[in-house]
Amino acid sequence: MEDGLSESEAIEAVGPVSQIVQQILMETPLPKLVKDKVKPRRSLKVWEIVLLVLGAPLWLSLLILHLQMPASQAPVEISPLRQM
């Protein structure tokens, strides 16, 4: 539009979206792309770490028990008492 082009001509001059995305990805350095994807969302707070450590004996034993149980020994649903 600054060069005297109409809106549709300016859009055509830019090119398709997929081409623009590909060009941006090619110009962005790989370490920056990897850092942005791998960057942790937040760090654990002290109380969260304490709860994980103190709860580990319980949840680890339950996890091990669950992993050792074959599918055929899955918990059985107990039906309610029948009315007489």
Containing structural domain, residue 32 = 7-70
83 within domain boundaries: no
39 within domain boundaries: yes
Most confident of 8-12, 26-30, 52-56: 52-56
Q: Which amino acid is at 31?
A: P
pLDDT at residue number 1: 52
For the chain, what is the domain count?
1
pLDDT in tens, 12-25: 777 888 888 888 88
pLDDT at residue number 24: 84
pLDDT in tens, 40-59: 678 889 999 999 999 999 99
Do the beta carbons of residue 7 and residue 1 sit within 8 Å?
A: yes
| Residue for token pair 């300016």 | 10
1 within domain boundaries: no
55 within domain boundaries: yes
pLDDT at residue number 13: 77
Would residue 15 be called left, alpha or beta, if left means φ above 0 and alpha means ψ between -120 and 50 degrees? left
- Name 13's Cβ contacts closer than 8 Å, sequence gap at least 6: 5
CA distance 49 to 55: 10
80 within domain boundaries: no
CA distance 55 to 57: 6
pLDDT at residue number 72: 64
